[in-house]
Amino acid sequence: PRAWTLARRPDGMPVAEDFALIDHPSPPLEAGQLRIANRWLSVDPYMRGRMNDAKSYAAPFALGEPMGGHAVGEVIESNADGFAPGDMVQHMAGWRDEAVIVAREATKLPPIDVPPQAFLGQFGMPGMTAYFGLLHVAEARPGDTVFVSAAAGAVGSTVVQIAKAKGMTVIGSAGGPEKCDWVRSLGADHVLDYKAEGSLVKALSAAAPDGIDVYFDNVGGAHLDAALATARERARFAICGMIDIYNSAEPTRLRYIARIIAARIRIQGFLVSDHMAHVGDFYREMATMVGRLKREETVVDGLDAMPDAFLGLFSGRNMGKMLVRL
Ligand code: NDP
């Protein structure tokens, strides 16, 4: 078996030489362990933070050690009660083709009628992020006008659809006409192509003449500034991600930041992991929407191409969830 490791810590945008594919031993199973053939591996923007040698909410990847991340695979050997060869499970030993883990670190896929890889996207961590960020953190309600950035991504496209299902007006932004058409097809009332717009503030004000009640931030930077500029009084911002600055040390200039005061904007950062006590609500509610939810995937084949798939997140190569298929 083989696994990706971090060969050195990236400076700015990662490059191919920062990663190394190594042979990884496949030891005999100890009591309580499973051997899993990974079928689908996830690449996620937060992994960029784990490449830095800085303490954050997720520990830094150790140099030379297999990297980790969400994965879905098939049990091929079990030394643990409750698991048998053929079981499909999700776990965190990604970035490799075969995983040996203790059984308590694996979870069987929930009984929802979607393909296994959907549990890495809309029915997994990114979907939970959309659901909890919109409904619990921003406390978005029917009738609200919601602005969401990176709206054609895994999290954003789910935010758009949950917000529409709950009777909100939705403005999404995405890069390029193809993604914007797709976001419109998800039900968004207005879509901004941020790569084509001159001023995001002007475009957002035109789409929401009465202002926005909620901003779901995936991007930071100019998107956050435009949301500050157009926020109504007592608007709520759920700060989910700031992909605009993950590869840069440049501080973001926010021209409209003082509007936080006059408009009494509530800005709340969050981590999806804080909301796991309510994960049952997420699965229950999402299961009722299975037939109505649209889902797009950008699939890259083979372990060798995994760093490329990861880097593609930062150039917008993905529509919907970016996945690696083995
Ligand atoms: P996406 O599927 O949205 O992929 C990333 C997308 O971001 C790209 O497709 C691209 O779309 C857009 N993008 C990349 N660079 C920029 C840029 N400089 N400016 C504007 N847009 C950019 O990823 P996810 O759905 O997995 O994640 C979305 C966000 O949510 C990320 O910021 C991530 O870190 C965050 N997140 C936070 C969690 C939490 O617990 N707080 C949990 C999970 C995710 P386009 O072509 O439209 O530019």
d(C-alpha 34, C-alpha 26), whole Å:
11
Note the pLDDT tens digit of each residue in 167-195: 999 999 999 999 999 999 999 999 999 99
The residues of the chain scoring below 50 in pLDDT are: none
d(C-alpha 7, C-alpha 4), whole Å:
9
Nearest atom within ligand 1 for CA of residue 243: 32
The strand ranges marked E within 15-168 are 19-23, 33-42, 71-78, 88-91, 98-102, 107-108, 145-148
Note the pLDDT tens digit of each residue in 210-231: 999 999 999 999 999 999 999 9
> What b/e sequence results for 260-285 when a residue is b if at least 16 CB atoms lie within 10 Å of its CB, and e otherwise?
beebebebeebebeebeeeeeebeee
Query: So where are the chain's domains?
Result: 2-121+296-325, 125-273
2-121+296-325: CATH number: 3.90.180.10
3-class state of residue 164 by DSSP: helix
CA 156 / ligand 1 centre spacing (Å): 8
- Cβ 6 vs Cβ 67: under 8 Å: yes
d(C-alpha 36, C-alpha 38), whole Å:
6
125-273: CATH number: 3.40.50.720
d(C-alpha 76, C-alpha 231), whole Å:
52
Q: Which residues contact 159 (CB under 8 A, 6 or more apart)?
A: 130, 133, 134, 146, 148, 151, 216
Given this model, what pLDDT does residue 250 score? 82
Q: What is the pTM of this model?
A: 0.98
CA 62 / ligand 1 centre spacing (Å): 24
ipTM for the predicted complex: 0.99
Nearest atom within ligand 1 for CA of residue 175: 47
Given this model, what pLDDT does residue 274 score? 97
- Cβ 242 vs Cβ 221: under 8 Å: yes
Given this model, what pLDDT does residue 249 score? 76
CA 205 / ligand 1 centre spacing (Å): 23
- Cβ 115 vs Cβ 43: under 8 Å: no
Given this model, what pLDDT does residue 231 score? 98
Given this model, what pLDDT does residue 58 score? 83
